[in-house]
Each structure stands twice: as C-alpha cells, then as structure tokens.
Structure 1
Amino acid sequence: MKKIRIMLLMLILVVLIVGCGQQDTGTGVEDGKVLGVVMPNATHGFLGESIQHAEAATKLYAEEYGFEYQFLTSAESSEQNNQLDTLINQNVDAIVLWPHNGDEVRSGAQNVMDAGIPLIVYDRLIDGFEPTMEVMGDNFTIGEETGEYLNQYFANELAAGEVHILEFKGDNSTVPQQRSDGLKRTAHENIVIVQEFSTGWQRATAQEQMETFLTASSVEEIEAIKAIFTHDDEVVLGVLDAIMDYNGPAQLDIRLATGVGGRRENLDTFKPIKEGYAIDQVTYLFSPTMVRDAVEYGAKILNGESFSGLYLIDTMKIDESNEVEFRGSDIYKIRYESDL
C-alpha cells in the first residue's frame, strides 16, 4: 500500500510539472514555425532603409513570439521566384513578399498560395492576384492629394489657362501607376503633363533626365513648366540638382516640386531651395518604417491570428506649414532617432 501511495504522488508530481511547462503565455508560436521575408536588395535610399527596418522588425518579433525566420533579398524577379520556391520546399509557415515587379513574380506567388502557405504582399501589388493579405502605403490617395495641392497652389493660373508640369515616376510597378491615377482623378483639367520620365527611383537618373529636358527643349517649352510632380523624395533632389546647375537661355519659372517620402534630407532643403530658387516643396509621408507592419502581420499569422484583404497605411502632407511639427512626430523619431 505504501508503494502505491508513493507511485501516486510521483504521478501527480509529473502531471503538475508537465502542466506548468505547457502553460499558455498568450504570445508564443508553436515550436519550429518559420517566417520567410523576401525583399528586393538595396544599399541606399528608401529601399535600403526599408530593408534595415524589415530585418530589425523580423528579429524583434521572432524574439517576442518565438519563431524562426529566413530573411532573403535579391537583385531581380527571377531570383525572387527561386527564393519563393525554396521557402515552399522548406515548408515555411508564412511568407512576407515585397515584389520587384508584381507581374514577374506572379508564378512564384501563386506557388506559395497553392502550397497553402499564408502570403502577405507588401507595397508593390500583383494585378489580378489575391494573396492572403496586402499591406501598402495609400498610393492612390497620395496622387489624389497631390492633384488637390496643385489645384490650390495654382488656382489663379488654372482659372486663366493651362499649367504645364513634368512627371518623374519610379518604375512600371503598381505603385507609380496608382499615384498617377490618383493625380489624374483630382487634378484640374488645365493641368497638363508635358512629359513623363521613369527614373528607376534613382536621383542621378532624374537629374540626367531633367538636364536633357532643359537642353533639348525650346525656351518657350522650358519657361512654360510651372511644377514638377515626382513619385519619390530622392527623385526630387535629382531634379533640383539639374535646376540648380542650369545656366541656359531660358528663364525658369518652376514654382513647386512635389515628392513622396517625408525624408529628413528633403525637409532640410525646403528653406534654402525656397530662398535661392523660389521653389516651394511638398512631400507625402511614405516611410520605410511601414514595412514593419507587414512583418508584424506575418508574426501574428504564425501566432494563430487571421487576416485578409488590403490594409492601407495612411499618408500625410508635409510642406513649409507643418515641417517643424512633423519633425517632432513619433514616426519621424522612429525613423531617424531609433536604434532600429
């Protein structure tokens, strides 16, 4: 009888130990789950900053939720498709994908969905394709608000006739297309886009394109340009570089340059460009910290939460009127004052 009592006590003790070891903390991912994060590579600019924030967020949430991860970058779409196939073969549990170009990674993305792996597509969408979830900045609204800003800024001129502008896009992905579509929806019918350029999101390319326009166009055509509509803050700086270097016969009458990003480097030029060249600037918030949202959704999916559809991240206008206020905002501090 004594031996039976001892065995019962030992059994109760084992049950208690196992029960304590399996206690639910509320934020733990099942052992062995893996998140794949797949992005284009870059060493500078918006994408370079985004990679830093994405990797930092992946490490942070991996520690918080207790999962493993693979963080992969690539130079082109074919390499990105190969990475997706590799992650499928490794049976990862969720993937966050920032496509080089949506159409070019459609097959890889479809393979992910066919394998039953939750897929979050960030920033550049894949037309006609429905992943588990899409996370992106509100590009269409950025275009709409830029159109409205142009309407207000040139209200007097538009009442009298046409206002000619140049457009500097980033690439042929859905991002610039949405921004262009948004602008066309709200811009006054007298706002005329004289020429469009595709910059590859590069400051030097934008500078060369603007220099070519200034040297190859007639004086009349150059002097008719009143504003520059760009899709990226680095691109704005390239255009401004060309304007500052111009010494041709035309009297430049460019009064406004618009961008996207809310970069500190651009905010720092607001005052000197206004004072030296009489050009106002406005930029729309599109921070590299936004990619953290996509990674967080991936972590939450591993933790058992469900999401679907499109999640849009809000933008805001930043010009001379609220630049100082914006520099004191949390999103600015996270971007420039955090240790990632």
Structure 2
Amino acid sequence: MTQHSRRRLLFGGAAVGAGVLLAGCTSNEAQPTEAQTKAADSGGNSEPGQAVTIGFSAPAADHGWLAAITNNAKAQADAYSDVTFNTVEAGADAAAQRAALSTLIAQKPNVIVMLPHDGKELNAAGLEAMQAGIPVVNLDRAFPDAKAYRTQILGDNYGMGVSAANYIIEQMKAKGVSAPIIGEIPGIDALELTQERSRGFSETLAQAGFKVANRRPAEFTADSGQQAATGLFQALPKIDAIWNHDDDQGIGVMAAINQASRTEFIMVGGAGSKKAMEDIQADNTPLKATVTYSPSMASSAISLARLIGQNKGMSDLVELQVPKTIVLASETITKENASNYLKLGF
C-alpha cells in the first residue's frame, strides 16, 4: 500500500452518517430499490442549518449496485430539510459525463458528489469544479489527483481481494487441500478498482502458496457473469474455489453453475447483495461467503457533502473539518453472521 493509502481513515462497512439500503433484488436490469437513510438524532450536526445545494452525478444504472448508489444518495438528501439535491444525467460514457458535469459546475452548487465512470478519465472534471470553488466529494472510483476532490469516500478494493482470499485459504486448509485450483471472475478489467481487487486477491493467495488458475472478466451484469463463468468451467474441468467480484454478475454465475451442474467448489461473492446473503444463509449452493462493498457509501457521501457545505466537521471527531479520505473496510459475510448484514443488502 502507498504512504497515502496508509494515512487513510478506516471505518466499518456502514460509514459515519451512512444511510443503509434495504430490500431490492438484483438482476441484469437495474431494479427499483428502497433506501433507508440514517435517522436524525436530536442536536449536533443533524439539526437544520445553512442551506446547501448538492449536485450529484453517477453513471446510468445498468446493474443493481449502481441503482442503489443513486437511490441512496437521493434518499439521504431528502432526509435533510436544508439540502437541495440536483442530479444530472451522466450518460453512457466518460465523455458524456464530462459534458454533464460542465453544465452542473456552471450552475454553481455548493458541493458536488461525483461517482465517475472512470476516475482517471474524469479527474479533469474534478479539478475544474475545485478550481471553480466547488468542493467535490469523490465517490467510489478514485481520482488520482488529490487536488481534484475535497473528500474521497470509497470502498477498500484491495481489501476485498484480501478478505476473499483469506476466506478461501481458511476453507482450503480446513479441507486439507494443499494445491487448490482457484478461479476468478472479476468485473470490468479496465477499471482500476477491478485491478486493485485482483491484486489483493492474488497477493494474499501467494502468501499461502496458492495462485489463480484461470481468470475470466465479466462486466458487473448477470449476462456477462454467466458468459464468464461458462468460459471458466470449460477451461477448468475441476475447481476448488472461485471468487466472483460482484454479486450482481453473480446471478449469471449461479445460472452457469446450474446449467453446467458444477458444484464441486466453494464460491465467494462481492459487494453484499441481499440475494447473495439469502443464498449464503440457505447454504444449498456453492456460494458460502461474500465480501462487502456497500452502496451505503452514497448516503454517507451526501452527509459528508452537507457538512462540507456548512463548514462543519464530523461530530464524533475532534477535528473541525471533514477528513480528506474515508475508506470503508471490506467485511466477510458467512452463514454465521449473514443475519447481521441483511439490512445492508441491496
């Protein structure tokens, strides 16, 4: 990890001020979801204060996790009487989002919350807003330039890989498997977040003398998950363990498992969908665990943006300003603790 990464504040999966997403099934199509915001406490930062207009931009929802991001952000903003929420369509790619953000910047909101299509490609948009005097809360996909954001809140992608690998190592050792055949189904390979997840996974496996035998990228959707898993099964006649990075694409992975009648392995998911947790609880599929990457971070991003707009710090911290970077820890959900996490499922 870099020195910058070591300086990050680490919080649990439900970040300070986090709204939590409730029931919402995932599929290849983005589904309507019901968001639960953090209940307002009496006194402190929850009391109505200076009016804040928050501009918001995130990619169009092509899977459940992204739908939950936008749904959570809007619900958290609606929970504050002093917040006006202004969202702009991000379009289908980074270029379209850049154009939309230029329009948003011209409207001069007090703060912008932005989940970019790609952090590197949208870094210039973050810089443009900051240079215009509009603080940016960079959500999930990180801008490489620290001057492009006031605050960054994101999941621990490297930590997801570490958590998934540690679970697989533990299970393989318990089964007495010394040289397991391990498959990996990542999301969009071009994204830095996917690369970080895979690096955390492979580096942690290597510490136990394990390695990935075959890796088939998907695109966070059920259709792509099914295609990737089918290719993985064709390449590996026997498998001991699989890490699928994303529970949305995991629906397609499970379809491929059923189609191929392959149940000889254990599987770990990623993100923490409600469907995945229910399958883990039922314990009748290869899916035995999932590692969290919760869209509740969008609710937290809105809460942070409001505090920044009101020039306030986080009430439980001594410092007078909101931290520069907040990273949400990736937790491992199993049959034993799934009931504690269901309320966080999307």
Give the TM-score normalised by the residue count of structure 1.
0.77
Work out the CA distance in 2 between the residues paired with 1:184 and 1:129. 28
Work out the CA distance in 1 between the residues paired with 2:310 and 2:281. 47
Q: Which has the higher contact order (CA 8 A, sep 6+)?
A: 2
Alignment of 1:274-313 (within 5 A): 274-275=283-284, 279-305=286-312, 306-313=321-328
Structure 1 gap ranges (5+)? 1-24
Q: Counterpart of 1:110? A: 127
1:35 offset after TM fit, Å? 1.5
Work out the CA distance in 2 between the residues paired with 1:195 and 1:111. 41
CA contact (8 A) 1:158 1:190 kept: no
User: Is 2:334 the counterpart of 1:319?
Assistant: yes
Opposite residue 265 of structure 2, the aligned amino acid is: R
Work out the CA distance in 2 between the residues paired with 1:300 and 1:168. 38
Deviations 1:128-168 (A, max 9, x none): 444211001222222212121111111166773x2221211
Q: Counterpart of 2:165? A: 147
Alignment of 1:178-197 (within 5 A): 178-187=196-205, 188-197=207-216
Work out the CA distance in 1 between the residues paired with 2:340 and 2:150. 37
Q: Secondary structure at the match of 1:321?
A: coil
1:97 offset after TM fit, Å? 0.6
The counterpart of 1:239, out of the listed 219, 237, 253, is 253
Opposite residue 71 of structure 1, the aligned amino acid is: T
CA contact (8 A) 1:96 1:295 kept: yes
Output the aligned Cα RMSD. Answer: 2.4
Work out the CA distance in 2 between the residues paired with 1:189 and 1:97. 38
Q: Secondary structure at the match of 2:311?
A: coil
Q: Secondary structure at the match of 1:163?
A: coil
1:43 offset after TM fit, Å? 5.6
Answer 1 or 2: which has greater helix percent. 1
Q: Secondary structure at the match of 2:58?
A: strand
Q: How many residues align?
A: 289
1:118 offset after TM fit, Å? 0.6
Q: Counterpart of 1:227? A: 241
User: Is 2:69 the counterpart of 1:73?
Assistant: no
Give the 3 Å change call, closer, same or farther, for CA 147–203 of structure 1 in structure 2: same
Give the 3 Å change call, closer, same or farther, for CA 129–199 of structure 1 in structure 2: farther
CA contact (8 A) 2:307 2:322 kept: no
Give the 3 Å change call, closer, same or farther, for CA 163–109 of structure 1 in structure 2: same
The counterpart of 1:177, out of the listed 195, 209, 218, is 195
Give the TM-score normalised by the residue count of structure 2.
0.76
The counterpart of 1:34, out of the listed 53, 62, 67, is 53
Work out the CA distance in 2 between the residues paired with 1:241 and 1:46. 19
User: Is 2:266 the counterpart of 1:256?
Assistant: yes
